[in-house]
A and B are shown apart, each in its own frame.
Chain A
């Protein structure tokens, strides 16, 4: 449920490092806690995002949740498929349900994120 090659934030996003870029999505726990995702709003290509600042919104049937960027940088790609198929966030949160790709401003920021083992320990400590 938590792939070893990803880095994880306390706000339940993951980053996959692809060279100087980071692909960002929601963790299994996040999508499960949200329930059926019905709407995703992410920044446009070119927008600057900052680590741990809200950059988008994911809505389930019941609730609106902010999405926080696990790294700083500029958005270079967004998952337009989520406009018509937001349920991909539930069905394939580490694959087709990715949110954005960011050109990372400071790859050192990755050090502040957790690996899969630490993230699962964090979830357990939060009572999940």
Chain B
């Protein structure tokens, strides 16, 4: 990330994070909590009980009007026409080359109303892109007025249920409901970025602090911890959920990122369709894979991946996995070396250290 210009932006929960003792760091343009008690404790809390995350820095943009669906179909690679009201879809905002302007989730709010959730660092770029390449829909940025709190983990649903009349058990994975939480309107989405069951709760910015405090109060007795971006990163890595700017960007296509399931070539034309159709027919020449370290060392972003002394790719994400108790990572490698089981090496401080390509996700929650 480039250094921010001017003062850092704050989410509506900034003062609460500071009062609760979070360690704050600059994250893009934002002043965000990187950890509370510690990344490892927070990570384990999410896997075993629950964790609470402030992700209010993310962007929320509404598409409205009779042209809303057509605009989204033109802009994104997944098939938004398949969405029923109340359903969520993971998708990509694609360039003409089939690479990522951003990745996003698309919510169908009503017949002609959709909400898309964007990465914080891409909001301005995405808005400009969407307004340039799609006409016929009203596109409204609601990012500043919207707070987003994620509660994740096996106990998330029970904790949140205490604050709402909405029947959470009736909401399937990647569906949402709107209803009252703590006496105010909220959107409750059964989605997340941790590999666990849980919800992402959208509320007006002014009600974020009350929601956060109530969830901490209800959750603490059953093991909930407030979490920072550090644990969010290790959790999503274990679940092999891509991080924009690391694993996906404008230089790698959706197919190369191994996200072919969000590319629906049959749905009709969209930006990047031709490039992706050609690439699908010809086959990708590199692919995002997961690996585990076998030698002693931790792979980090930008480290070289080598085989027999030849560079075959780069690490895009790497960290010690608290779940597997060994370092893991993601990276793009030449397709000839992308098969599961392939021994590779990661160049760590000029020394090759043994690693192996493994099946992903690294972590799959028990169901």
Complex: A36 Cα to B319 Cα, angstroms? 12
Complex: A83 Cα to B297 Cα, angstroms? 11
Q: Determine if A35 is an interface residue (Cβ-Cβ < 8 Å).
A: yes
Contact B233 A62 (CB under 8 A): yes
Q: Chain B residues near A39: list those with CB within 8 A.
A: 297-298, 320
Chain A 51-66: CB-based contact to B (< 8 A → 1; otherwise 0): 0000001011110100
Q: Determine if A100 is an interface residue (Cβ-Cβ < 8 Å).
A: no
Question: Looking across the interface, which residue of chain B has its beta carbon closest to that of A62?
Answer: B230
Contact B40 A36 (CB under 8 A): yes
Q: Determine if A38 is an interface residue (Cβ-Cβ < 8 Å).
A: yes
Smallest CB separation, B4 vs chain A (Å):
18
Contact A61 B349 (CB under 8 A): no
Contact A35 B300 (CB under 8 A): no
Chain B 98-110: CB-based contact to A (< 8 A → 1; otherwise 0): 0000000000000
Smallest CB separation, B352 vs chain A (Å):
15
Contact A38 B320 (CB under 8 A): yes
DSSP class of B's interface residues: helix, strand, loop or mixed? Answer: mixed
Question: Looking across the interface, which residue of chain B has its beta carbon closest to that of A32?
Answer: B23
- How many residues of chain B are within 8 Å of chain A by beta carbon? 17
Contact B230 A61 (CB under 8 A): yes
Q: Chain B residues near A59: list those with CB within 8 A.
A: 298, 320
Contact B320 A35 (CB under 8 A): no
Q: Which among A38, A39, A59, A61 has the greatest number of chain B C-beta atoms within 10 A?
A: A61
Complex: A60 Cα to B234 Cα, angstroms? 12
Q: Determine if B215 is an interface residue (Cβ-Cβ < 8 Å).
A: no
Instruction: List B333-367 residues whose CB lies under 8 Å from chain A.
Output: 349
Complex: A38 Cα to B319 Cα, angstroms? 10
CB within 8 Å for A62 and B349 given contacts A35-B38, A36-B39, A38-B298: no
Selected A-B contacts with CB under 8 Å, 11 pairs: A35-B23, A35-B38, A35-B230, A61-B40, A61-B230, A62-B34, A62-B39, A62-B230, A64-B298, A64-B300, A83-B296
The 10 closest A-B pairs by CB, nearest first: A61-B39, A38-B320, A36-B40, A36-B38, A62-B230, A59-B298, A39-B298, A36-B39, A61-B320, A35-B39
Interface residues, chain A, with chain B CB atoms under 8 Å away: 35-36, 38-39, 57, 59-62, 64, 83
